[in-house]
Amino acid sequence: MFRENRAKTFLDIRLNSNCGSYAMLHILAWTGLRAGELAALKWSDIDFDKKTIKITKTYYKRNNVTKDYQLLPPKTTKGSIRIIDFKDEVLGVLKKHKVNQNKVKMQIKHE
């Protein structure tokens, strides 16, 4: 059973350890996304105004070989393609992650 206080404690530890995976772990914990769905997300799947994430694909790697990945529809059930609502806390994490990602892109561009 998911325990909110344990999840918050775990995420606080990750945040304070300067762990680059904080945003990923936070989003997984508070949205219920599957790891492959998170890996397949694009910024265009996120509506910051409505606070929703559109799930239309998942990251799949055949035989566990990363270079042979595919983006496929999630699972096989009708409800797997869906829109997930998220709270302000997740909105803040997403916005901060996007800013950090853009900074990294700019650094790489100027190297």
How many angstroms separate the CA atoms of 42 and 57, rounded? Answer: 10
Contacts 24+ apart (CB under 8 A), 39-47: 40/71, 43/98, 46/94
How many domains, in total, are found in the chain? 1
Q: What angle do CA 64, 42, 23 make, to 5 degrees?
A: 80
pLDDT attached to residue 43: 96
pTM of the model: 0.76
Structural domain contains residue 22: no
Structural domain contains residue 5: no
Structural domain contains residue 15: no
Structural domain contains residue 25: no
Task: State the alpha helices, DSSP H only, in the chain.
Answer: 4-16, 22-31, 35-40, 88-109
Structural domain contains residue 10: no
Structural domain contains residue 96: yes
Structural domain contains residue 69: yes
> Which domain range does residue 78 map to?
34-109
Q: What is the pLDDT of residues 33-84, one digit of tens each?
A: 998 999 999 999 999 999 999 999 998 888 877 778 888 888 767 778 999 9
Structural domain contains residue 104: yes
pLDDT attached to residue 42: 95
